[in-house]
Amino acid sequence: MTAIITDLIGLQVLDSRGRPTVCVRMTLGDGSIHKVSVPSGASTGQHEAVELRDNGTSHAERFFEGKSVYQAVANINEIIRPELINTVPNTQRTDALLIGIDTTDRHEILGANATLAVSLVTAKAVAHIQELSLARFYQPTGALRIPMPMVNILSGGAHANGALDIQDVLVIPHGATTFSQALSWVVAIRDAAARIGAAQGYVTNLIADEGGLGIPFESSSQACAFVTECIEAVGLAPGQEVSIALDIAATQFYDRGNYVSRSSGKTFTAQQWHEQLITLLSSHPIISIEDPFAEDDWNSWETFMRLLPKPIQVVGDDLFTTNLGRLWRGIENKSANSILIKPNQNGLVTQTHDVLNHAQEHGFTTIVSARSGETEDSWLADLATGWGAGQIKVGSTHGSERTAKWNRLLELEATEETVFSKPF
Ligand code: PGA
Ligand code: ZN
C-alpha cells in the first residue's frame, strides 16, 4: 500500500533566532518524504498551548540554555510514532489520536510543538496522496483567495529589545490589485524606511526578530508619522493605497491594572491608555490594531470596541490565542472584530481551522500569522490561502524564514487560478 506511513522521525532543528525547534519527517509507502518544522513566539500569551522545552541541565541541553526540545522530539519518536506507523494518514484521525494520548487542554504532556508538527505533516501527506498542494487540499476547486499581507516595517517590544513600547508598526497595501504588486509596494516602503531612517541619523542596518527596523522612536505617534512619510516617499497614498496596522502587544507592558510605557517613562491606567490609543488612531492612517489591551483585560477591550472613533479592525492575538473557548467569549461580548490565527498557539491543524471558520461565521476577519521565531518552511502560506483567511502576517520582507512564505504566495499566484483578497 503506497499510502501507508512507513516512517515518522522527529528531530531538533534551529529557528530563525537560532533556538531549537521541532521538525518532523514522514515517509509514505510510495517513498515520498514530507517534512514540517514549527515556529515559536517571543511575546507569547499565557493561554497558548504549551511549547515543551527541556529547561534542564544535561550536557546536550546546556548549550541551548534549557531551550532544547529533546523531550518533544522523544514524544514524537517514542509515543506518537508507534501509533501512526502502518496506518493511512488522515488529519482527523491523527488529531483525535493526539488528543487521546494527551488529554490536557493545552497539550502539556506531548507539547504543542510536537502535536502541531505531527498534525501538519499528516495534512501534507494526505494532500500528497490526493496529488494536491496543501492549499488545494483545503480548497480543491475554484479560484484560490491569496491573502492580503500585513507587513512589518518597525519593530519594538519583545522583538527589538523594547526599542518602542508597541511591538509592530506594519503596513497593509490594500490598494494593490495583485499580491505581487502588493509585495513590491511593501518592499519599496521597507527600503524607504531604511534610507530615510539612516538620513535622520538612526541605525538601520540592524534588524529585529521579524526583519523589521528597531528604530528607537520616542513615541508610537512618531513611529506612525515616520511610516506614513515612507509610504508617501515611494509615491503611494497613505490611507487610500496603503494604511498602517499596529500590533500593540499590550500584555507585554501591563502591570496590575496599569500600562507602563518604557519609552516615555509614564504609567497609564486602562482608561488613560484607552485615551492614548484613541488619539493615536485619530492622528494617523491606521486601519487595524492588534492586542491594544492585555490578554485578560476584557473590560477594556469591550469599552474600546464600543467607543471606536472610526471603523477599524480590532485584532485579538494574545486575547484569543487561537482558542475556541476564548473566541466564543470575544464573540459574545463583542471584545474584538478580528482574530489572529497562529497554529502553534492551538497545537492542532483541524482545531486551528475550526477556530478560523467559527470566527468567519460570526463576522470576524481572520489573519493567519507566523511567529517571531520562524523556519524556512512555507506551510503557513498554503493554509492562509486554502482556508480563505483573507489576510496574512509574516513579519517583514527581510529574512528567508519570512520570504519563504511570501515566495510561496507568489508561486501560488503565478501558477493557480487566484483572486487577491481585500482585507475587509
Ligand atoms: P510572537 O509575536 O510570535 O513573538 O508572539 C507575534 C505577534 O505578537 O503577533
Ligand atoms: Zn501579536
- CA–CA gap between residue 44 and residue 371 (Å, rounded): 9
d(CA 327, CA 317): 10
Query: Does 51 qualify as catalytic in the annotation?
Result: no
User: What is the spatial distance between Cα 340 and Cα 350, in angstroms, rounded to a whole number?
Assistant: 16
* Separation of CA 291 and ligand 2 centre (Å): 6
Instruction: Give the position, in ligand 1's atom list, of the atom nearest the Cα of 45.
Output: 5
Q: Going residue by residue through the chain, which has 424 residues, state the pLDDT in tens, using 9 for 90 and above.
A: 679 999 999 999 999 999 999 999 999 999 999 999 999 999 899 999 999 999 876 766 678 888 999 999 999 999 999 999 999 999 999 999 999 999 999 999 999 999 999 999 999 999 999 999 999 999 999 999 999 999 999 999 888 776 788 999 999 999 999 999 999 999 999 999 999 999 999 998 888 999 999 998 989 999 999 999 999 999 999 999 999 999 999 999 999 999 998 888 899 999 999 999 999 999 999 999 999 999 999 999 999 999 998 999 999 999 999 999 999 999 999 999 999 999 999 999 999 999 999 999 999 999 999 999 999 999 999 999 999 999 999 999 999 999 999 999 999 999 999 999 987 7
Minimum-distance ligand 1 atom for the alpha carbon of 158: 4
Ligand 1: residues with CB < 6 A are: 41-44, 167, 247, 249, 317, 369, 371-372
405 is a catalytic site residue = no
Q: How far apart are the first and last CA of the chain?
A: 46
Partners of residue 28 on adjacent β-strands: 5
Of 342, 374, 401, 405, catalytic: 342
Ligand 1 centroid distance, CA of 314 (Å): 16
Q: Has this prediction a pTM greater than 0.95?
A: yes
Dihedrals φ, ψ of 367, to 5°? -125, 110
* 222 alpha carbon, distance to own chain's centre: 25
Q: Whose CA is nearest to atom 1 of ligand 1?
A: 41
Measured in Å, residue 363 CA sits from the centre of ligand 2 at 20
3-class DSSP string for the chain: CCCCEEEEEEEEEECCCCCEEEEEEEEECCCCEEEEECCECCCCCCCCCCCCCCCCCCHHHHCCCCCCCHHHHHHHHHHHHHHHCCCCCCHHHHHHHHHHHCCCCCCCCCCHHHHHHHHHHHHHHHHHHCCCCHHHHHCCCCCEEECEEEEEEEECHHHCCCCCCCCEEEEECCCCCCHHHHHHHHHHHHHHHHHHHHHCCCCCCCECCCCCECCCCCCHHHHHHHHHHHHHHCCCCECCCEEEEEECCHHHHEECCEEECCCCCCEEEHHHHHHHHHHHHHHCCEEEEECCCCCCCHHHHHHHHHCCCCCCEEEECCCCCCCHHHHHHHHHCCCCCEEEECHHHHCCHHHHHHHHHHHHHCCCEEEEECCCECCCCCHHHHHHHHCCCEEEEEECCCCHHHHHHHHHHHHHHHHCCEEECCCC
Question: Which ligand neighbours the alpha carbon of 48 most closely?
Answer: 1
Task: Give the Å distance between the CA of 41 and the centre of ligand 1.
Answer: 5
| Catalytic residue chosen out of the listed positions 48, 61, 210, 401 | 210
Q: Report d(CA 231, CA 226) in Å as an integer.
A: 9
User: CB within 5 A of ion ligand 2: which residues?
Assistant: 247, 290, 317
